[in-house]
Amino acid sequence: MRILVATKMYNDANRIIDTLTGYFEVRHAESEWEVESELSNRDYSFLILDYELPQISGYKLLKELAEKGLLPSVVLVCGQDAVGYNEDRLKALAYGKIQMIPVIDMDRALREILLAYPEAA
C-alpha cells in the first residue's frame, strides 16, 4: 500500500514517513507538479495533502486532480482552512467515490491512518 505525503513541511513529512515506513511505501512531494507526477505514475491508497502548498491552494489542486481522475480512494486534507467552512466544498470534490477527510494537522492525519491500520502503530 502506498501513501503520498504532500507538504512543504519536512518535519511533518519525516514524522509520517518514519512512523509508517515498514508498513507502507511512503513518499513525499512538496510541489503541485511533484504531486501530479507521483499520482500519474503510481497507484496510491492515501494522499495526505497540506491545504497550503507553496504555489497552489489545496482546493485548486484537489479540483485539478479530481478532474484528471488522479485522486486515490482516501484523501486526508490537512490545515486550518480544510476544517470548518471548507469541509463541504472539499467533500463535493470527491464525487461520492473518494473518502475526503478534512483534519486540522498532519498529526491528526497520521492518527487517522494508525486507527485504520493499528498494526502500523
Distance CA 114, CA 121 (A): 6
The CA dihedral of 53, 59, 65, 71, to the nearest 10 degrees, is 90
pLDDT score recorded for residue 54: 75
What's residue 80's pLDDT?
66
pLDDT digits (tens, 9 = 90+) for 18-68: 989 988 999 999 889 999 999 999 999 989 988 777 788 777 888 889 889
Output 71 or 95, whichever has higher pLDDT: 71
Q: Name which residue leads in pLDDT, 95 or 15.
A: 15
> What is the domain extent for residue 101?
2-120
Give the CATH number of the domain where residue 28 resides.
Answer: 3.40.50.2300
Which among 93, 45, 38 has a CA at the least distance from the CA of 67?
A: 93
pLDDT in tens, 54-89: 788 777 888 889 889 898 888 887 776 666 656 666
pLDDT of residue 106: 83
Three-state DSSP class for residue 45 = coil
Total structural domains within the chain: 1
pLDDT at 4 exceeding the cut of 80? yes
Top-confidence residue, 48 or 99 = 48
Q: Looking at residue 77, what is its pLDDT?
A: 78
Average pLDDT value for residue range 106-118:
85
